[in-house]
Structure 1
Amino acid sequence: MATLIVIPARYASQRYPGKPLVPLRGATGAAKTLIRRSWDAAQAVAGADRVVVATDDDRIRAEAEGFGAEVVMTSEAARNGTERVAEALDALGGGYDIVVNLQGDAPLTPPWFVEALIADLAAHPVAEVATPVLRCDGRALRGFREDRAAGRVGGTTAVFGAERAALYFSKEVIPYTGRDYPDGDPTPVWHHVGVYAYRPSALAAYPLWPPGPLEQLEGLEQLRFLERGVHLTCVEVDARGRPFWELNNPEDVPRIEAMLEAAGIA
């Protein structure tokens, strides 16, 4: 199936302006910008036919083209990454069976996460959108709780039904569990990884819908699909020992750099 990966990137982030151009040191001590590291992550995905950066900012365009990326310029009207990916697909003229949104703030995304989404959509025609989830162990759950207690926007959690159809996503820690878990023990909480694979029809419909109340309350773009009854499937993935986190706040930079070093990513 013809697969396009789009990396949406904007400069004017409310929580972290200029985030795509933030330098991050890797295992060798060399610094690369966040958008470069996201591009590198996309290039490692097997089965992708094309990778593009989608942005409305000339500074990001210049940086991306400087390291050899293909760039699609989009409008400033895109309200989130999914809308920007939809606009990029339209600008490219379509022609793809699966479109992947590899968000530009997740340079630690392992290629097998994206490959699992592509395989899942190919195998399950009923699914219109797929996104990965990681089961939290006790250490990860404690980190989520600490972030929320400190008022920081940390990872997003997901709940889904028996057939893996998504029920809800939240920046709060859900489902509620009052228990403490040892560091390596599995918990009932799932970390949502902000990567999406869409069928083009679902992606094209998305910008035509106004944001619903849940999307606006949580600030989570994927809730628009759920509010419209779109079948969004959660795909369980295995980190295989690799640490994972998104760059949400300036305070996450040292955490991401430590994880790049631990993973041996130059």
Structure 2
Amino acid sequence: MSVLVVIPARYASTRYPAKPLAVLKGASGEAKSLIRRSWDAAMAVKGVDRVVVATDDVRIKEACEAFGAEVVMTSEACFNGTERCAEAFANLGGGFDIVVNLQGDAPLTPAWFVEDLVAGLRANPDTVIATPVLRCDGRALNGFLEDRKAGRVGGTTAVFGADRKALYFSKEVIPYTGKPYADTDETPVFHHVGVYAYRPEALGDYPGWPIGPLETLEGLEQLRFLEQNRPVLCVEVDGQGRAFWELNNPEDVPRIEGILKDLGIE
């Protein structure tokens, strides 16, 4: 089954304008843009047939082409990354069995997260969308709680049933635990990793569905699938001891730079 990875990137982010061009220093102090680091993460994934950046901004296009990325221009009217992936896929003329949305603000995404996600979708032919979830240790959970206490948007959390189908996603920390955890403790909270794998039919239908109240309130694109009664498969991935964090706020830059340094990523 052929796989296309699309990295949606827009310039006019409400919380963090020009975020794809934010500079992150690696282990040696080398500075690379967020979108470059996300591209590098995508290129490390095995079994992928093509990787493209989908954007509506010429500044991002020029920055990406400067380091050799393939770029597909999309409309400014795209409401979120899934809509942008749908338009990019259509502009490319289709031709892939699975489309992966590797969001441009997750440069620490390990290659095996995406590989396991694609394998999960392949193993469930009745499922049209899948997304990875990562069990939080106490350190990650405490970081989420600190962000919420400070009024910052931290990571998204997910709850799912015994069949691994999502029940809900939220920017709040769910489920409620009611107790403190040490940094190395295993917790019942799952971090939703911002990657999706779609079958083309679901991706094609998505832009035509109305934006529902839950998607509006949470600002989470995957809730549109749940509001349309399309099950979302949650594929649990193993962090293998590796720290993972998305760049949601300017305050996340030093945190991610610290992880890059710890991992020895240039």
Q: Which TM-score tier does this pair reach, normalised by the shorter chain?
A: over 0.9
Q: Which residue of 2 aligns with 1:56?
A: 56
Count of equivalent residues: 266
Trace 1:37-52 onto structure 2 (pairs within 5 A). Answer: 37-52=37-52
CA contact (8 A) 1:126 1:231 kept: no
Q: Which residue of 1 aligns with 2:250?
A: 250
Per the normalisation by structure 1, the TM-score is 0.99
Q: Which 4+ residue blocks in structure 1 deviate beyond 4 angstroms?
A: none
CA contact (8 A) 1:9 1:53 kept: yes
Q: Which residue of 2 aligns with 1:29?
A: 29
Per the normalisation by structure 2, the TM-score is 0.99
Q: Which residue of 2 aligns with 1:229?
A: 229
User: Does the residue aligned with 1:221 lie in a helix, a strand or coil?
Assistant: coil
CA distance in 2, matches of 1:68, 1:255: 27
Q: Which residue of 1 aligns with 2:90?
A: 90
Structure 1 gaps of 5+ residues are none
Q: Which residue of 1 aligns with 2:168?
A: 168
Return the letter of the residue paired with 1:96: F
Instruction: Please state if 1:6 is matched with 2:6.
Output: yes
1:183 shift after superposition = 1.4
User: Any idea what the Cα deviations from partners look like across 1:109-142, whole Å, max 9, x if unmatched?
Assistant: 0000000111011111111111011101111111
Trace 1:122-161 onto structure 2 (pairs within 5 A). Answer: 122-161=122-161
1:36 shift after superposition = 0.4
Return the letter of the residue paired with 2:107: P
CA distance in 2, matches of 1:104, 1:132: 16
CA distance in 1, matches of 2:103, 2:216: 19
Instruction: Please state if 1:216 is matched with 2:216.
Output: yes
- Identical columns (%): 74
1:210 shift after superposition = 1.4
CA distance in 2, matches of 1:223, 1:120: 20
Q: Which residue of 2 aligns with 1:260?
A: 260
Return the letter of the residue paired with 1:158: A
CA distance in 1, matches of 2:74, 2:129: 22
CA distance in 2, matches of 1:15, 1:205: 28
Q: Which residue of 1 aligns with 2:121?
A: 121
1:261 shift after superposition = 0.8
Return the letter of the residue paired with 2:190: W
1:185 shift after superposition = 1.2
Root-mean-square deviation over aligned CA pairs? 0.6
User: Does the residue aligned with 2:251 lie in a helix, a strand or coil?
Assistant: helix
CA distance in 2, matches of 1:118, 1:60: 27
